[in-house]
Amino acid sequence: MNDLVLIRHVETDLAGTFCGHSDPDLNAAGEQGLRALLEQAAPLGIERIYSSDLRRASRTAMAIGNRIGTPVEFRSGLREIHFGLWEGLRWEQIQQQYPHEAQLWVREFPMRRAPAGEEYRDFTARVDAEFRGVVGRRTGGAQAIVTHRGVMQYVLTRLCGFSEDDARKQTENYGAIVIASQSNLREIDCTGIGA
């Protein structure tokens, strides 16, 4: 078995907001969800865990690693996209506080970033670089990546052949687990990203 196991972190108090590089801890629902996630992850044959270094992902990853006796490597390149001035805001707040920018973002995403936020092409370039390194490290067992919804959606559509709709559905729940066979992963080619 040589699978890539993508795991979304469990819930925080910033659920429902634009939470990119913000660094909240897990909330009570997240702690409860973590217990269920550990039972789901335990039988997957995970031999290596890579994680975003943000607290919500790193705490999720460490709990999995402790449960199955597997080390965790923290990678800042696995962070969610940075939403700049929109960090921690709900969409309704963004529409009220930044009405013009919100309209442009809806029309032009991914080519338009949030005010003072990360460019989408920079986000995808760093995620591609991380996955190139992880996918290239073959092991006898599965490799897990504990990260964020935006990262997972990008990887599922870019590398795993998921439609955008399927990627959204597969990642909508905190603690979601999506498994892809590494032998079926598409080659990562950063040329043309953001073009």
Order of strands across the sheet with 3-8?
72-75, 46-52, 142-147, 3-8, 177-181
Q: How far is CA 72 from CA 45, 95, 111, 136, in A?
A: 15, 39, 33, 17
Q: How many CB atoms lie within 10 A of CB 32?
A: 14
Q: Provide the 3-class DSSP secondary structure of residue 18.
A: coil
Q: Which of 11, 80, 101, 130 is catalytic?
A: 80
Could you tell me which of 148, 154, 159 has the C-alpha nearest to residue 189?
A: 159
Whether 21 sits among the annotated catalytic residues: the reply is: no
SS percent in the chain: helix, strand, coil, step 5: 45, 15, 40
Q: Which of 9, 11, 130, 148 is catalytic?
A: 9
Please give the single-letter amino acid code of residue 18.
F
Do 41 and 14 touch, CB atoms closer than 8 A? no
Whether 9 sits among the annotated catalytic residues: the reply is: yes
Before 110, cis peptide (omega within 30)?
A: yes
Catalytic site positions: 9, 80
